[in-house]
Structure 1
Amino acid sequence: MSMPEALQKAIESGDAELTGREVMALDESGHRAAAAGLPGLLKAMRAASPHGFLDNQAVRPLLIAGAGAISGPAAAATWLCRGELRLWWWGANDSELRLLREVTSGRSPEWRAEVAHRVADRVRATDIDWTRWHFAAELAKSAGAAPPVSDGFVVGWASGPEGADELSEDPFLDTLLPKLFEVDGVGAALADDATRTQWGRTRKSTWAGSLSDLARAGRIERATLLDGCVSRFLRGGTTHNLRWFIQLHDALEPTDDEVAARVRDYVRLLPTAPPTVADLALRQVRRTDDLERLDADLFAEAADALLFRPEKKLVRAALTWLDRTARKRDRAGATVRALTAVFTSDAVDLRDRAVKIAVKHAAHASESVREEVRDAAGGLPADLREAIAAGFGEVAAVPGPEPLPGPPPFVPREPPAPIGSLAELADDFAVRLRSDEEWPATERFLAALVEFAHRDPDGTREALRKHAEHLAPWITEPGGRPYMRSHVRESWIQFPVQHLLLPGRPHNLTEVFAALAMRRSHSAGTLNDPQLKRFLKWRLHEIASAVGTVPLLLATPTEVSGHIDPGVLVGRLERLEAAGCAPGPADLLQAMLRVPREIDPAAVVRAKGLASVAGRRVASWLAAGGLADPAVTCTVLDTPLATVGERTFRPPSQVLSIVDMPGDSEIDRLCTHPDPDRRVFGTGRLDPHTGHWAAVLPSHRDIVAAHLVPYLAGWEQYGWNQGAIMLGLAEADGPAGAATGTLLAHALANEDQDERARAVEALLVLAARGALPAAETGTALGRLAALGRIPLPRTLKALTAAADAGAHAGVWTILATALPHALPAPGQRARAGLPAMITLATRLAEMTGARGAIPEVADVAARGGTSRLVAESARLHRTLTAT
């Protein structure tokens, strides 16, 4: 039985109207023939399409033909839901829905209702297919049947493009309205309802507005909507998913009786609901209280729930409510008892206010309540205990808390095990091609590549070639496209492998990069690259040239930080001497820079037996103890320009770092910063290998930090691995001074939450190792905050997390050092977040027992007035000067 010819031509022409007429002209046998031929026709049309899929013009007649020809409800629904027949954009339009009605008009209402429900069941709430939704809705309407109630269909009804303008006439309203409060996904679908209505060209009404209007008109029950909102709040959810239900609740403007009837549910929301829902619930509870319809048990439950909330805004509102109603409602005792929950709060401003309110109502509290207050006040600071004692009687101070635990101990990461076979080398090569280049793993791969290529060049070449040809064929192209050649030359994995796979490829850039790295030549045209980047380029080209010619790399680290065990270093030099080979100059220089600060005396003695030029140089280096610590400075500037001696600089982000190396050796020239030829710095564009710099000088983190400052500080809004790079510095060794502290201050303000978390981890590592430059970090933080270059609220989140994780002493020092720089002069406005910064400082001063006035804080406290800045400064000053 073949497809009716006239119908096939109509479908192939893309004419949905003609297709509809042809389908309706068929008899039962014609319908069967058409239904049998549609799958084959669809396959042929897809095969003939130049894109491999069908556009809307081709899909429409296929959908109409299937709806009219397929007799089984299940088969018809399956056809309408085929993925190849999905219409783009908003799915079916009015003409397609009219055709659907027409071609199915001969079917029974039961058939249309069943197809509607089957199609609706395939509409997903998280990804609405509007073709399916519209077809299901149209079939249900034409059948006069109840609408489907599947989750996807309900969410589609709530989020459709027509919105709520004709809701009063919607035949689905009565059935689907209760489902709005039961189906997950409705809240997310309607979260932006008000915004879409505001900016939409055709929509005039919001769902919340239309439903509340219908409730006022008596079309729907107000109780259905109010109970639905409250039940949805009680089910829980995110602020985003509950936003629309809050809008609907407010649009209904509940009456006093409606609120009082539901007050028990509002109280149940207070402990754990999202802040916006808890705020709504608190308003209703207070309203009920104003009506004198809140019983004592519900008051106590509400007060306890609110005062344990983490949101200061809600606790502050609760304190205001409790204070204003304590005597008016004759519940001073219950109020004072509830306030004791705030005595242990970390928010010192709220704690102080709770004490003040308790004292205010002390005279109206019973003796049993007064005893509870005295017991709860034992852990308060001395000045607050005295205030409680004045109102409630003598307070016995409880023993001080156990010493606070410090940050978690630092445990160095284990280095990756050496690669032991060609098969493992090939597998690692494939992994490195697919993933970002992690520096310890990259060093491991390069060490194995050099060793295997020297030991078995043909076998190594064969093992790597298949992966290269499959995953990175440009590596094996002798000519290659220019942009790909540049890409390969920048890759620490691909470039050395290319030199192994294409051994005859000319390469003469190693000496150029060597000269450039050591500032002996400007011919390569990249002098504006940072020194450490130039050095890494030199080392990369040298390694690529060395593949197959030397038995090993000298500078491969033995620790994740980048350090080399001195005994291993001497052993490698002995192997090179036995093989009659010398290390490359960049390899030798890197190996010397990776010597740890503490050198095993046995390695020094053993090194004296080395005979080669490189061996004697390393022996002298080890005997001298490695690189001495140079002078490193870092300053946050007020102006774009800075003059040092006869040189004027324009550093990015107005932070100038200097490394003063008095000599002219290769190492001196590499470490000096800024180099003598530089007046301006490169752009802030992040180099993907900047995170590797700490491993170049793992025993001198402040030198690396100084080199990083021009390229990392001031770019907090871009993420740019600030936190990850800071963590690498924390795992390195050597002095941590102003440069490290300045970078840490910037990283703690990073916009990216993950980068801030890594910066916090870096702070904890530095604190655990006794290397946190707290005063230097505080100086930079205070200067940057005063100049408006970092957002304090983000920084305070990070510092709070670090303090809570054990670095309370270090964070206190950071804040105590920062405040003199950050506090405004008389008449100036405080930076956003500064009062909260002082609050955190007060909390940490109490935790650490810090004493000793900070003159700048005392000056602000003495200004008087009611500003929060003055109040918080006065509180901190009292804490620091308490006896």
Structure 2
Amino acid sequence: MSDEALLKAVRAGRTVEATGLLDGMTDAERRACLPALKELRKELRSAPWNAASRVAHPALHAAGAACHTGAAGAATWIAGVDMRWSQASPGVLLHVLGDRESDWLADLTHRLAARPVTSRLPFALLSGLVGLSGCEVPTTDAYVRGWFEHMGASRNGGRSVAQRLRKEPHLSVMIGALFESLEVTGQISWLFGDGPGSWYNALAELAEEGVLDRKVLVDACVARLLRGGAPADQRVFLRLLSSLALTRAEERERSADWTALACQAVPSVAWHAQSVLASFALDGELTPGQLAEMSSGVLFRTEKKLVRAQLVLLGKVLKRDPSTADVLLPAVAEAFGHEDTDVQERALKLVERHVTALPGPNRTPGTTGLSASADTDGTTGADGTTGTVGTTGTDGTVGTAGSAGTAGSAGTAGSAGANSARERLGELAADLSPGLRLRAQRVLGIEAPGSAATVQEDVLPPVPRRERLAPAPESVAELAEEVSAILASGGGVAAFERALDGLVRHAHRDREALAEALGPVVARCWWKDRDPRYPSADRIFRESPNGLEVVLAALFEQVDTDTLYTAAQQGTTSGNCHHSALSRAFEARLWEAAYRLRAEPMPFLLATPSWDTGLLEPEELVERLTEYRRLDARPGTADFAQALLRVRRDDPAVSAAAAARARSLGSPEGYRLSQWLSSEGPLLPTSRRRTSGARVLLELGELQEIQGHFPTEFRPLGRPLTVFKDHWYCRHWGVTDRQHWPAVVPGRRELVAARLLRDISTAAIEDTRMDAMTLPLLAEADGPAGEALHLCVAYGLGARHPEDRLSAVDALLVLAARGQLDAGRLGADIGELVGRGALKKSRLAESIRTAAATGAYATVWSVLRGLLPDLLAGLAADGAGGGSGGGAVRGLGELLAVAADCAERSGAHGDLPHLPETAERHGSSRVVTQARRLRTALTREAAA
């Protein structure tokens, strides 16, 4: 009867009564109660989440923990997800578990502590179990996080953090565990606070008192910084290291660590490490070789602030001790390969200033020189400078220790090192931009093949080639595999069309065999054996057919025939947004295929394209209509309409021959195809630019040929597109069907681009994400690249997120490779959008630089040639108006830098409006410097 009483108390939520009953039970009696408690738990899982169901959870949580006599089972029960939001208090759990043996409790403690942090187990429970069992304190992420949150939240009579930590018996273990954890730091960083009462100052105070081992704490901080991690985590340990206020001796002991951090750590940590090493270098405590090693790594970084600071440091050391030039100048030259030409020029100026300190090849013997690796012997003079190899003795002879030279000829090693340094400088000069490379060659006395930079050929990606679609899978097993892949990760036009055609074909041949093969594939689809408490599949499918899923659901009779018929006849898309014309045409064919599969299966689809771009060869369509005629099958209305839009009509001879054969079929579809092939096409509607706020959009006129004989769901493709009227409800945000829209109207991608233009503009104006990802598909599609597509690319180049900008760069390069890029139009479009405030020049500079970095220098320059005059004119107008020029200048220097690089590498020449006025401005700002560089590149004589 005890189990019935316990179950009754638990169900009623009487935790105190249930606890009392558990106290009087033996282990066997508790185990006997467990099956009933598990059944109650299963019942509560499916019950509605309301007060009536929640009331039993705390008592059930405690009872189940007590009735499990195995530590593993008890841990699983206590940490159950369904118990997390309404569980027993830690005190109750510790009470019902308190009579267990210490080893059992220790096992339970460590099992619970090993659970993920997301389990959110109360720290009071974990720490209480540690006290009950007497086991070693766990150092898992869950326990460490709980300990820090507990110590941070404990006020204990208003005592400070340091006072609370002094009373903690496990302080050293927990602090050590913090340094080992890879997840906890970021989760508790908000606890560390600021000011005198922060954790940072408390730990530093305890280290000073000896409560914590200072050396262990410093080593742990440095080790954690060396390990790397998220910038937020690294800032915590850097702040703690700064609070410890390392002495000069402690810093000196870790010179190698500072070098590694300066080269590889996140910027904030690298900056600290660089400042420590800089003080060593300026005080003569860093050998030239060590400084060179550090510089090679720092100058390789992309952070300009760090690179410039390192060049300043190298300049100071070289000025103080010119004899280090043969070691340090090659390190300076590591910056010749930096992506920022300003950094390259700074490094080159430093080389120009100190290259005279390098002894010439014919230096007079007997002078003492510095070996290229003089620092490797580790000798350091009293003033902190590195000792020379081959020093002169008191008798006037030259010592041979560490010297490659003979007595009396100590300059030989130095001369060899200098020659080696000059050779290395010449090798690294090849990484400079062409204009600076010529300057470096003159300084170093290197003979160049010509007086001007070598013109580089444009490097563009391979032209995308159309791929023939393979036939639909012959077996249902193969088809099931392809459908499974599409449902799991989507698929392009080719995979989707093959799978759709395969479903139609195999449903016509043997519907039962098809359903059997697809059974495991659709077993986990949301509409398969759906829960009756949720909305019906019909209601959800009316919002969107979800690609192939509506066809599969129709095959398994999860959608009503009436719903399929209505959708196939009238469509289901509500609203009249910019995308509805494309989505309605695409979805009409899916609904028709789903309905016909149930009511009148088609032998195959007419509109399956011949090519992966969506184009359909006219001869193939005629052959399919011939087979339909032989089988006396009725073509699908939407399927035939889609076939007409896809059939290729750019070859008059092929179209005429196919039209004659189609007319001879004697069927209505054959006659319609014959008319279609005999007409001119594909046509594009007229367009005009309209502005809407900062946006520049396009309106399209009517396309009469996509009207008349086409079904209702296809006619919107030919109707006018307006900017201000189509603002109704839109359900197409982020839909995967967008990749299929260019294949709805192959050869007319301007229709698609115009309807996606507003979406792509939001990626730049409203900082949305992923809206420009369709640009590469549009660039690879068939048809003229007109005003709409170029505007789309312009918006994409100024998008907020890098992945969208990369998509725009890909589209630009593909259009250029296909010979379809109108660079002047694109540059003018970008200039107009910048002027309206739709695009930011800093984002454009990054996109343009990325495109140029692929080797497409001439292409990028052709775009910039059309863009820069407007921007330079705006700068001139702003200056003439007495303004500060901040808005006009911001980002312009970066664009001019890319333009200068492209002009130098592509051999561009000629005048650029407003460039001379900008180059003749006073000062040395980035805009003026790069304008002068661009002017020099454009006026340089062409290479012979």
**Alpha carbons of 1:272 and 1:601: their partners in 2 closer, same or farther (altered >3 Å)?**
same
The aligned amino acid for 1:319 is L
Per the alignment, residue 487 of structure 1 pairs with 543
Match in the other structure for 1:596: 648
SS at match of 1:655: strand
The one-letter amino acid paired with 1:486 is: R
Counterpart residue number, 1:275: 267
CA shift, 1:253, in A, is 2.8
Aligned to 1:778: 827
Paired amino acid for 2:216: T
Contact 1:120-1:153 at 8 Å conserved across structures? no
Equivalent position to 1:339, from 324, 332, 341: 332
The 1-side partners of 2:616 and 2:651 are apart by 10
Decide whether the 8 Å contact of 1:632 with 1:703 is kept in 2: no
Distance 1:94 1:451 in 2: 63
Further displaced range: 304-313 or 811-820: 811-820
Give the C-alpha shift of residue 282 in structure 1: 0.9
**Higher relative contact order structure (alpha carbons within 8 Å, sequence separation ≥ 6):** 2
- Which residue of 681, 684, 687 maps to 1:627? 681
Match of 1:316 among 280, 299, 308: 308
CA distance in 2, matches of 1:821, 1:598: 39
The alignment status of 1:353 with 2:340, answered yes or no, reads no
Deviations 1:7-35 (A, max 9, x none): 999877766667777877x6xxx655566
Residue equivalent to 1:713: 761
Change (3 A) 1:485 1:385: closer
Paired with 2:791 and 2:718, the residues of 1 have a C-alpha distance of 16
> Would the aligned equivalents of 2:550 and 2:594 in 1 still touch at CA under 8 Å?
no
How far did residue 695 of structure 1 move? 1.0
Which among 122, 138, 145 is matched to residue 148 of structure 1? Answer: 138
Shift of residue 568 of structure 1?
Answer: 0.5
Query: Which letter maps to 1:705?
Result: A
Which residue type is aligned with residue 415 of structure 1?
Answer: L
**Which 10-residue stretch deviates more, 217-226 or 386-395?**
386-395
- Give the aligned partner of residue 364 of structure 1: 357
What code does the residue aligned with 1:681 have? D
CA contact (8 A) 1:415 1:558 kept: yes
Query: How far did residue 792 of structure 1 move?
Result: 4.5
AA matched with 1:608: A
Of residues 418, 433, 448 in structure 1, which corresponds to 2:472? 418
After superposition, the Cα gap between the structure-2 partners of 1:835 and 1:61, relative to the gap in structure 1 and judged at 3 Å, is same
**What residue is the counterpart of 2:409 in the other structure?**
none
Q: Which moved more, 1:221-230 or 1:578-587?
A: 578-587
Q: How do 1:278-289 and structure 2 match up within 5 A?
A: 278-289=270-281
The AA in structure 1 aligned to 2:539 is: Y
Q: How does 1:167-186 map to 2 (within 5 A)?
A: 167-186=165-184
1:300–1:334: 8 Å Cα contact kept in structure 2? yes
The answer to whether residue 41 in structure 2 is matched with residue 46 in structure 1 is yes
CA distance in 2: counterparts of 1:324 and 1:113, whole angstroms: 66
Question: What is the deviation of 1:137?
Answer: 2.7
Cα gap change, 1:783 to 1:215, in 2 (>3 Å): farther
User: For 2:486 and 2:471, how far apart are their aligned partners in 1?
Assistant: 16
Deviations 1:482-509 (A, max 9, x none): 8346236786752797599666779577
Contact 1:632 1:737 in 2 (8 A): no
Which stretch shifts more, 704-713 or 540-549?
540-549
Aligned pairs (5 A) from 1:519-558:
526=576, 530-536=580-586, 548=600, 551-558=603-610
Which of 837, 850, 866 in structure 1 is aligned with 2:908? 850
Distance between the aligned counterparts of 1:312 and 1:857, measured in 2? 26
Partner in structure 2 of residue 649 of structure 1: none
Deviation at 1:95, TM superposition (A): 4.2
Residue 448 of structure 1 deviates from its aligned partner by 4.5
Task: Report the TM-score when normalising by structure 2.
Answer: 0.75
- CA shift in 2, pair 1:488/1:257, >3 Å: closer
- What secondary structure sits across from 1:303 in the alignment? helix
Counterpart contact for 1:91–1:131, Cα < 8 Å: no
- SS for the counterpart of 2:815 is helix
Q: Out of 785-794 and 220-229, give the one that drifted further.
A: 785-794
1:124-168 C-alpha deviation (Å, 9 max, x unpaired): 375265547544433444677653345654454345573693222
**Residues 782 and 5 (structure 1 numbering): CA distance in 2 closer, same or farther, change over 3 Å?**
same
Change (3 A) 1:186 1:90: farther
Q: What secondary structure does 1:563 align onto?
A: coil
Shift of 1:264: 2.3
Matched, 1:877 2:935: yes
Q: Write out per-residue CA displacement over residues 814-838 of structure 1, whole angstroms, 9 at most, x where no aligned residue.
A: 3333333344433342375443233
Residue matched to 2:697: 655
Aligned residue in 1 for 2:84: 88
The alignment partner of 1:681 has SS state of coil
Structure 1 unmatched ranges of 5 or more: 518-523, 641-651
Deviations 1:341-387 (A, max 9, x none): 12233321111111122223334344324564355435645643564
How far is the alpha carbon of 1:44 from its aligned partner? 5.8
Name the count of aligned residue pairs.
Answer: 838
Shift of 1:248: 1.2
State the one-letter code of the partner of 2:616. Answer: I
The farther-off stretch of 866-875 and 408-417 is 408-417
Secondary structure of 2:698's partner?
strand
1:138 to 128, 134, 139: 128
Corresponding residue number in structure 2 for 1:646: none
Asked if 1:127 is matched to 2:117, the reply is yes
Aligned with residue 429 of structure 2, among 343, 363, 377: 377
* 1:736, distance to aligned residue in structure 2 (A): 1.0
TM-score, length of structure 1 as denominator length: 0.79
Aligned partner of 2:837 in structure 1 is: 788
Distance 1:92 1:244 in 2: 35
Q: 2:794 aligns with which of 738, 745, 751?
A: 745
Contact preservation (8 Å) 2:430, 2:437 = yes
| Aligned AA (1:175) | V
2:680 matched to 1:680?
no
Contact 2:261 2:270 in 1 (8 A): yes
Deviation at 1:408, TM superposition (A): 3.8
Larger mean CA deviation between 855-864 and 557-566 belongs to 855-864
State the shift of 1:603 in Å: 6.1
Q: Contact 1:408–1:764 (CA<8 Å) still a contact in 2?
A: no
How do residues 409-558 of structure 1 correspond to structure 2 at under 5 angstroms? 409-413=463-467, 415=469, 417-420=471-474, 439-448=493-502, 472=527, 483-484=539-540, 486-487=542-543, 494=550, 498=554, 507=565, 526=576, 530-536=580-586, 548=600, 551-558=603-610
Paired AA for residue 84 in structure 2: W
The CA deviation string for residues 528-554 of structure 1, in whole angstroms up to 9 with x for no partner, is 875444544665666667662765543
Q: Deviations over 1:604-649 (max 9, x none)?
A: 435423323543453455456x515547656474x64xxxxxxxxx
**What are the within-5 Å matches in structure 2 for residues 16-415 of structure 1?**
32=27, 36=31, 39-40=34-35, 42-43=37-38, 46=41, 49=44, 57-58=58-59, 61-62=62-63, 65=66, 75=70, 79-80=74-75, 82-83=77-78, 88=84, 95-96=91-92, 99=95, 103=98, 112=102, 115-116=105-106, 119-120=109-110, 122-124=112-114, 126-127=116-117, 129-131=119-121, 134-141=124-131, 146-150=136-140, 153-158=143-148, 160=150, 162=152, 165=161, 166-194=164-192, 197=193, 206-330=198-322, 331-367=324-360, 368=418, 369-370=421-422, 372-374=424-426, 376-377=428-429, 380-381=432-433, 383-385=435-437, 387-388=439-440, 392-393=444-445, 396=448, 400=454, 403=457, 405-413=459-467, 415=469
What fraction of aligned residue pairs are identical, expressed as a percent?
27
Partner of 2:670: 615
CA 1:339–1:429: 2 relative to 1, 3 Å: closer
1:723, 1:762 within 8 Å by CA — same for their partners in 2?
no
Q: Relative to 1, partners in 2 of residues 1:416 and 1:127: Cα closer, same or farther, differing over 3 Å?
A: farther
Q: Are the equivalent residues in 2 in contact too, given 1:59–1:85 (CA < 8 A)?
A: no
Segment of structure 1 superposing worse, 288-297 or 40-49: 40-49
Q: Distance in 2 between matches of 1:172 and 1:90?
A: 31
Amino acid at match of 1:88: R
Cα 1:499–1:133 change in 2 (3 A) is closer
> Which residue number in structure 2 is paired with residue 647 of structure 1?
none
Residue 57 of structure 1 aligns with an amino acid whose one-letter code is P
- Distance in 1 between the 2:202 and 2:511 partners? 77
Q: Cα distance 1:444–1:236, how it changes in 2: closer, same or farther (>3 A)?
A: same
Residue type of the alignment partner of 1:127: V
